[in-house]
Amino acid sequence: MKYLLFTIMIALTSCATAQNVELPAPQTEQKSLSMVETLKTRHSVRDYDKEKSLTLQEISNVCWAANGVSRDAEHRTAPSAMNRQEIRLFVFTEKAVYEYIAPENILEFKAEGDHRRIVAGTSERMQEFVLDAPVSLVMVIDLEKFGMEGEKARMFGCVDAGNVSENINLYCQSVGLATVPRATMDEEAIRALLGLGEKQIPIMNNPIGYAK
Ligand X SMILES: Cc1cc2nc3c(=O)[nH]c(=O)nc-3n(C[C@H](O)[C@H](O)[C@H](O)COP(=O)(O)O)c2cc1C
Task: Examine residue 43 and tell whether it contacts ligand X (CB under 6 A).
Answer: yes
Q: Which stretch binds ligand X (CB under 6 A): 4-12, 111-119, 139-147, 177-185?
A: 177-185
Q: Which residue number, 93 or 165, has a Cβ lying nearer to ligand X?
A: 165
CB contact set of 80 (below 8 Å; sequence gap of 6+): 86, 87, 156, 160, 163
Residues 111-140 close enough to bind ligand X by CB under 6 A: 127
**Sheet of strand 21-22, all strands in order from the earlier edge strand to the far edge:** 21-22, 106-112, 96-101, 87-92, 135-142, 200-209, 178-179
**Up-side HSE of residue 182: CA atoms within 13 Å toward CB?**
26
CA distances in angstroms from 124 to 60, 62, 127, 190, listed in the order given: 33, 30, 10, 16
Helix, strand, coil content of the chain in percent (nearest 5): 40, 25, 35
Binding test (CB under 6 A) with ligand X, winner from 89, 177, 180, 208: 180
- Considering the complex, what minimum distance in angstroms separates the CB of residue 180 from ligand X? 5
Q: Which residue number, 46 or 199, has a Cβ lying nearer to ligand X?
A: 46
Q: Which residue number, 116 or 182, has a Cβ lying nearer to ligand X?
A: 182
User: Where are the strands (E) in the chain, listed by range?
Assistant: 21-22, 87-92, 96-101, 106-112, 135-142, 178-179, 200-209
Task: Examine residue 181 and tell whether it contacts ligand X (CB under 6 A).
Answer: yes
Task: Examine residue 27 and tell whether it contacts ligand X (CB under 6 A).
Answer: no
Binding test (CB under 6 A) with ligand X, winner from 14, 44, 112, 155: 44
Task: Examine residue 183 and tell whether it contacts ligand X (CB under 6 A).
Answer: yes
Q: Which residue number, 63 or 178, has a Cβ lying nearer to ligand X?
A: 178
Task: Examine residue 41 and tell whether it contacts ligand X (CB under 6 A).
Answer: no
Residues that bind ligand X (CB under 6 A): 43-44, 46, 127, 180-184
